[in-house]
Structure 1
Amino acid sequence: MQAVQINQFGSVDVMEMAEVALPNLGDHQVLVQNYAVAIDPYDVKYVAGVFGPNDKWPVIPGSSVAGRVTALGALVQDFKVGDRVVATRHLKTYAEFVPVAEKALAKIPAQLNYEEAVAVALGGATGYQMIAERLKVQAGEQVLIQGGAGQVGAMAVQAAVALGAEVTATASPKNFAQVQALGATRVVDYHAVDYQQLPAFDAILDPIGGASVIQEIISLKPTGHLLALGPVPAALADDTRVESTYSQILRPTLATVLDYLAQKKWQVQIGQVVPFTLANLQEQHRLARTNQLVGKSILTFQPEKS
């Protein structure tokens, strides 16, 4: 099969197309013929080497897959050949065929196409998971979501609003209308946030983490909870209200997000949809590294749309 590999971290040019063997399946794995992958920030950072060294080259990057089941592991129970499915997994999705653990796989509702499904496989599902499952947001709570126009932030805004929270989100002024349309009560310029002028928050979600957490903590209630999808400054290491975390998207989480999308209760912004070629993949990574992507970029292996 055809797959994109890297043999080192670096520029987008380290990605190369190669002919590789079909993956072997474990007992609880499903083989998916890949129809669509999304460009997620994790993928871009991985290729760049942000997450550190690796001694098992070559590596097939990629963290999302949507397509049809073509083979089943010996103990798979919930899927059959031909099912339309979507999942996120660590690496190996920039390929024509992808092995996926059954527990991570969700069926795509008939109302959704592959592009819509794969667009929320990682970022969108993470936003929902952080709000509903990790922060356990309740009706009437005050919630701050950083980066409300991003893929994680946009889904987090919609999830918090659906749970009855009052949402404040940060964004660039050019994206204010977009974030307000998602249901945010208040949208503020992330370049010039005065946290002392904001409400006291029950929950804060920061998809980046880092130095911004020091500023955000000012507006967190003594009983509040702050989740950062990135590092937390050492100065806050002993603050029990603050947690650095990561997503783990399994079937129940992803299925819930897909159901909301299918019912048109939530939305996802899709940007460019282009064929899966090495040149297109490198270009999308290049645009992502310079913050030029608008919406979720999708690369498709097949012309099938439904």
Structure 2
Amino acid sequence: MRAARCEVYGGPADIVVRDIEAPRAGPGTVLVDVAAAAVNFPDLLFIADQYQVSAPLPFTPGSEFAGRVAALGEGVDGFAVGDLVHGSVPTGAMAEQVVAPVGSVSKIPEGLSMAEAASFRVAYLTAYHGLVTAGGVQPGQWVVVLGAAGGVGTACVDLAVRLGARVIAAASSPERLEVCRKLGAEAGIDYAGEDLKKRIKEITGEGADLVLDPVGDRWTEPALRAIRWGGRLVTIGFAGGIPSIPLNLVLLKNVTVRGLELRTWTQRLPEETARAREHLAELVAQGMRPLVSEVHPLEKVGDALQRVADRVNTGKIVIRISEEGER
């Protein structure tokens, strides 16, 4: 089968496409014919050997996928060959076939295309847990989304609006903010040229109720300073770098800071995750769709990864593995 391969640790330009031996379903796993795979920032960390755990060389990058069940391993119930599914694995998604634990695969909510389904699971589960499980968002509250035009960011904006929050999108250009406005953001802050703390205070009055931060770097502290007394900050990732924050701000403002790492959250909070998936499926039935901005063929996987590395994408970038993944 064809697969993207990381044979040396490095960057997107080092990824090649090879013919490799196809995997087989083992006990408790599902073999999927992949139609589409989404690109995520952690993919870049894996290929650079900068993730929390290393992927031994050589390996196939990619965590999110959508496709059709090709075979079931021993002891797997609830699926049949031919079922349309999407799922996530640490690595291995950017290939014509992938094997995933049965608990990491679910049926595609009706209405999602393969490209959308590949882009949905990680981003929207992250957004839901960030807003609801960790963030405790309520209708009418002010929610600030940093990196709001990216894959996770657009999911956070979209979902927060649908949950009745008042959303401030923070992004790096007017063009990226326009993407967020179309998703329903009430206000936008171009933090490349505006004072993030000052603008949040100006827009909200007392400050933000909740900040969702997948960016980190120099943006976390001014966002924290703009949270109202008793507000919350949920750190989702560090696309811009790991920040340092003065804990006296947390103390003086009685701010709650929560960390959200989706892999362990889904493992340790199965009931909350099941409720999240049920609610998200209901919203898909009502028309919610992830923003897929680009679809690249597998042969151009390096270009797709570079787009995410350069942080120029809006929404999700998808790798088309088969013709079905174009739709």
Fold conserved (TM > 0.5)?
yes
- Paired residue type of 1:244: G
User: Structure 2 vs 1, CA of residues 158 and 271 (structure 1 numbering), >3 Å: closer, same or farther?
Assistant: closer
How far off is 1:8 after superposition? 2.3
Of 87-96 and 18-27, the range deviating more from structure 2: 18-27
Instruction: Show the 5 A alignment for 1:1-306.
Output: 1-51=1-51, 54=54, 56-171=56-171, 172-191=173-192, 192-196=194-198, 197-198=201-202, 199=204, 200-230=207-237, 231-233=242-244, 235-236=246-247, 239=250, 241-248=256-263, 252=274, 253-254=276-277, 256-264=279-287, 266-277=288-299, 280-304=300-324
* Count of residue pairs brought into register by the alignment: 303
How far the C-alpha of 1:225 sits from its partner, in A, is 1.4
Please identify, of 113-122 and 102-111, the stretch whose mean Cα deviation from structure 2 is larger.
Answer: 102-111
Percent same amino acid at aligned positions?
A: 27
Q: Secondary structure at the match of 1:121?
A: helix
Gaps of 5+ in 1: none
> Which structure's residues are more often helix, by fraction?
2
Q: Give 3-state SS (helix, strand or coil) of 1:137's partner.
A: coil
Instruction: Give yes or no for contact 2:196–2:223 (8 Å, CA) kept in 1.
Output: no
Normalised by the length of structure 1, the TM-score is 0.88
Distance 1:188 1:9 in 2: 36
Q: In structure 1, the residue corresponding to 2:262 is in which secondary structure?
A: coil
1:212 is matched by which residue type in structure 2?
W
Distance 1:206 1:269, change over 3 A: same
Task: Please tell me whether the aligned partners of residues 152 and 315 of structure 2 are also in contact (alpha carbons under 8 angstroms).
Answer: no
Distance in 1 (CA, whole Å) between partners of 2:191 and 2:279 is 30
Contact kept? 1:40, 1:122, Cα under 8 Å: no
Shift of 1:238: 9.2
Residues 218 and 293 of structure 1, relative CA distance in 2, 3 Å threshold: closer
> Which runs of no fewer than 5 residues in structure 2 stay unpaired?
267-272
How far off its partner does 1:234 sit?
5.4
Closer/same/farther in 2, CA of residues 43 and 283 from structure 1, 3 Å limit = same
Instruction: Kindly state the Cα deviation for residue 55 of structure 1 after the two structures are TM-superposed.
Output: 7.0
Change (3 A) 1:70 1:194: closer
Letter in 1 for 2:295: V
Paired residue secondary structure (1:286): helix
Distance change in 2, residues 1:260/1:42 (3 Å) = same
Shift of 1:262: 4.3
Q: Which stretch shows the higher mean deviation, 248-257 or 100-109?
A: 248-257
Name the SS for the 1:86 alignment partner: strand
Superposed displacement of residue 74, structure 1:
1.5
How far 1:258 sits from its partner (Å)? 4.9
Instruction: Indicate the larger mover: 154-163 or 85-94.
Output: 154-163
Quote how far apart the aligned CAs of 1:82 are. 0.5
Within 2, Cα distance between the matches of 1:165 and 1:242?
Answer: 19
Question: What amino acid sits opposite 1:195 in the alignment?
Answer: K
| Cα offset, 1:260, TM superposition | 2.5
* Separation of aligned partners in 2, 1:97 and 1:151: 24
Give the TM-score, by structure 2 length. Answer: 0.83
d(CA) in 1 for partners of 2:92, 2:318: 16
Shift in CA distance, 194/81, structure 1 to aligned 2, threshold 3 Å: closer
